[in-house]
Structure 1
């Protein structure tokens, strides 16, 4: 899917030449172990670097330069993947092939070099007024979770089942961690990006691979990384004596979030089988949870499951009336039990295979999605292709899915509702 090159120790370039797009997409992904403190520092640093740099010291000048480059897009982002934090710089530019006598791609590469290597510093530090403002922006982003009750409920569930674990650490850290950030920490983190973080660079578009490789080597000089990032591994479960928590806020619709654990993770050989198992359980509109909890019993406004493969967790989310919590949990339990008993129809199996296949193929209509999918799946196999993965799904049997379902064990029920609802016992 991508051709791979090593630009320096710990710095890899992945190029996908394709005539599918008229633009060229570029993504730098710096990776390091995830902690609350590092996540907070990196989130603020991303905001700061997004705002200005040494060559374009104001946001107005920076945005004008992007407009001059035929509206090139450039932005920073932070996410997490398993036990790692990902600091990204993404860009999209028009392809020179569609312009007359202009070299926009080279100019975009020069701009990328500027924003990476030439931050806007005053006496070796970031402008304190900018640091203060961007810390406030990240704090607002963190606090916005409290207005989205579904996100809030999911975070509270994670904090209860995996406290002090990457699973419950957000990519922005916490308000307290952001407030504590110093200018020196931001400078040190920027230095880590340039010299220590494992770095993957992706380029997708109608390009000549050798030319792109040459451009990368002429525009960027990356230092060898001496610290090796360990591959994300299964996250150990902390002991938790509680199995149910009910919290009350001023709201109408109840948010039911259930966590299930399984030893099957992204790195397990049976991972494709668990993808199908989750699909039949609650991943799609034909799944057992959706059809029985929402459609047949009209017990939920929405109901679905998702598989967090890097943590070995399956989540069921449902929006329900406050007085239906016990009935809803019991009905959801029945759907898992049906899977564990091998109650799987040919239609459920075939529809799930088709839906997963279509979902993956449709994602590839976007260059950015091609990058994100390969960035994940290359951890399993650098020669990953969609066709090979779809083939894995096609050979999965009902018996294998039944066996997968037997590995799923309910761990915790979290319920967020208004004043009318279940009691916390």
Structure 2
């Protein structure tokens, strides 16, 4: 039996994904709206889902909508934004109890699908536009979300590395948009952008639970009725980049702890055959607590408060993140580069290889133990236009050899070094 039983159908301008499972006593409904990252739209898009969740035609105020969610046995509504490669993704999630476990058999699943459709297709408007007061409130909240990144220096260093490394690529744009674009957003401009979303976004609806695919199709056909004529976007093609010389950026701020972040181009994407090798490479290099960065930079040398690496699966980039004393810049950078060289020379054991594969498998299985995790894993297939089952994932990981990892390490290319240091630090080159 497969780990995930997914059925798909094209209905009314969206793709329906049903995952039937008896694991949960709730049903999870997640709408995914995908569009290209663009400078002109990124900030409008960042505010849109938060305005959508403020009210609908039937429940025009937040308090009325919350009361209705309570009436649905405490249903949970949540919106979020993410950036996957050069795509900007809106997620609207509704978690609702499965009516099979209730005494009164209220048709909760249909009510949930109807509500999700209304949030997307019939948001609260006045005279055909979003409500200006709500838009202004959400603009203030968006400013706070963006400012929070600047205040959290770990997140800020990640942002700045991406901005410097991907200076001429859409990926440089932040998921929450740009501060300077917020003042120009109006109820009309946001409504115009919303109409563009309905015309052009790729929309996927995931429903996970002890449900019938046939029944869900009927409900979706009944309630999602305004998406039929779709224009769509041109396909986003993520290009491979290669810098001739390593870019080094030093920034000074009033910080006590330095942030050394490094970007490597892997030029390997989720859909590629060597994607499994990338996952194993990252696990040994910096992804886990037994990795080279953790052991050698943090534990042995005590140079870093944290030292780790992570992969952007849809962009072909590997990031190294570390928090260090400013005076340790040169030494830390040198030791990080030594760990990459050790990977290129095959200086890791079969035991480390096996341990890494086991952790990756366990992480994957833990992820699909939640409905949200299942959807995130499955949605990678949509983004990459590559069908990859959990069984294929596990098999692919276990087939990676030491020789594969060494070969992969030798194609990694150092691109950008970013260092955030305190004023008056003694880092010089």
Q: Secondary structure of 1:115's match?
A: helix
Partner of 1:85: 88
Cα displacement (A) at 1:114: 2.2
Looking at structure 1, the residues matched to 425 and 364 of structure 2 have their Cα atoms a distance apart, in angstroms, of: 39
Partner of 1:415: 419
Looking at structure 2, the residues matched to 262 and 384 of structure 1 have their Cα atoms a distance apart, in angstroms, of: 20
Q: Which residue, out of 191, 208, 213, partners 1:209?
A: 213
Cα displacement (A) at 1:183: 2.3
Name structure 1 gaps, 5 residues minimum. none
Looking at structure 1, the residues matched to 331 and 131 of structure 2 have their Cα atoms a distance apart, in angstroms, of: 56
Is 2:279 aligned against 1:289? Answer: no
Pick which of 280-289 and 370-379 moved more: 370-379
Cα displacement (A) at 1:267: 2.7
Partner of 1:396: 400
Cα displacement (A) at 1:266: 2.1
Q: Which residue, out of 306, 323, 327, partners 1:319?
A: 323
Contact 2:44 2:190 in 1 (8 A): yes
* 1:187-336 paired onto structure 2 within 5 Å: 187-237=191-241, 243-336=247-340
What do residues 199-252 of structure 1 show as CA deviations (whole Å, max 9, x unaligned)? 111000001111111111112214335434455433353868672122122221
Looking at structure 1, the residues matched to 386 and 168 of structure 2 have their Cα atoms a distance apart, in angstroms, of: 32
Name structure 2 gaps, 5 residues minimum. none
Looking at structure 2, the residues matched to 236 and 180 of structure 1 have their Cα atoms a distance apart, in angstroms, of: 34
Contact 2:27 2:208 in 1 (8 A): yes
Total equivalences in the alignment = 424
What do residues 308-333 of structure 1 show as CA deviations (whole Å, max 9, x unaligned)? 12221111111111100000000011
Is 2:370 aligned against 1:373? Answer: no
Partner of 2:187: 183
Contact 1:33 1:84 in 2 (8 A): yes
Is 2:30 aligned against 1:27? Answer: yes
CA gap 1:274/1:292 in 2 versus in 1, 3 angstroms: same
What do residues 101-140 of structure 1 show as CA deviations (whole Å, max 9, x unaligned)? 3212222222223222222211112221111111111111
Pick which of 267-276 and 373-382 moved more: 373-382
Contact 1:196 1:225 in 2 (8 A): no
Alignment RMSD, CA only? 1.9
Partner of 1:346: 350
Cα displacement (A) at 1:193: 3.0
CA gap 1:380/1:116 in 2 versus in 1, 3 angstroms: closer
Pick which of 244-253 and 415-424 moved more: 415-424
Pick which of 103-112 and 145-154 moved more: 103-112
Looking at structure 2, the residues matched to 334 and 120 of structure 1 have their Cα atoms a distance apart, in angstroms, of: 57
Cα displacement (A) at 1:86: 1.0
Cα displacement (A) at 1:178: 1.9
Pick which of 382-391 and 219-228 moved more: 219-228
Partner of 1:72: 75
CA gap 1:120/1:238 in 2 versus in 1, 3 angstroms: farther
CA gap 1:383/1:234 in 2 versus in 1, 3 angstroms: closer
Partner of 1:50: 53
Q: Which residue, out of 115, 119, 125, partners 2:129?
A: 125
CA gap 1:73/1:128 in 2 versus in 1, 3 angstroms: same
